[in-house]
Amino acid sequence: MKIVLLGYMGSGKSTIGASLARHLAMDFMDLDDYISQREGKSINEIFAQRGVIYFRKIEALCLRTLIAEPSDMVIALGGGTPVYGDNMNFLKETSKVTTCYLKLPIDILTQRLWESKATRPLISDINNIEELEEFIRKHLFERVFVYQGADHVVVSKNQSPKELVQVIAELLNQ
């Protein structure tokens, strides 16, 4: 079984994913970390040196590689992964894959991303928090229909990672 966490950047996919994997005694992989290891470069370096199209091609290839692994695993996707190419259709059509959309309010996403924008290539050049919020709103408007196609939608507000893991485990009957 593969449990795939998706959602906008800053939604906690990596943090929740690692904790959920421990809770379920499964392996965990962050797709961006896997890509970085495979390429020998940070995501920022890949974007800067090879561009977004190259990154999206490698991302789709790495996603398929992880899904093909025989072990049970929790996988945290990048925010754009399900939106590009046929990645979401691939996940939905693959047996033994369950997708969970981690949905957070825009104000929480904005605050989290403002604090970490230097490490995120898509938003590193944004100069003020109002501009960042508008960017997030626009992106979510474009992406939410794909995210909402997940098997489960987990709405988060102020729950701790531990509480969210419990919610997801209950949704999965684990």
Chain position carrying tokens 């970085």: 36
56: CATH: 3.40.50.300
CA distances from 119 to 33, 57, 89, 106, 112 (A): 13, 21, 29, 19, 12
- Contact present, 97 and 4 (Cβ < 8 Å): yes
Is residue 125 over pLDDT 90?
no
Cα–chain-centroid distance for residue 128?
Answer: 24
- Output the pLDDT for position 83: 94
What is the domain extent for residue 132?
A: 2-171
- Output the pLDDT for position 132: 93
Report the 10 Å Cβ neighbour count for 82: 26
- Contact present, 89 and 44 (Cβ < 8 Å): no
Q: Report the predicted TM-score, pTM, of the whole model to 2 decimal places.
A: 0.92
Is residue 131 over pLDDT 80?
yes
CA distances from 116 to 15, 34, 51, 110 (A): 14, 20, 21, 10
Chain position carrying tokens 């098997």: 151
Question: What pLDDT digit, counting tens, does each position of 27-42 carry?
Answer: 999 999 999 999 999 9
Considering its fold, how many domains does the chain have in total?
A: 1
Mean pLDDT of 46-59: 92
Task: Note the helical H segments in the chain.
Answer: 13-24, 31-39, 43-50, 52-68, 87-93, 106-116, 129-147, 161-171
Is residue 150 over pLDDT 70?
yes
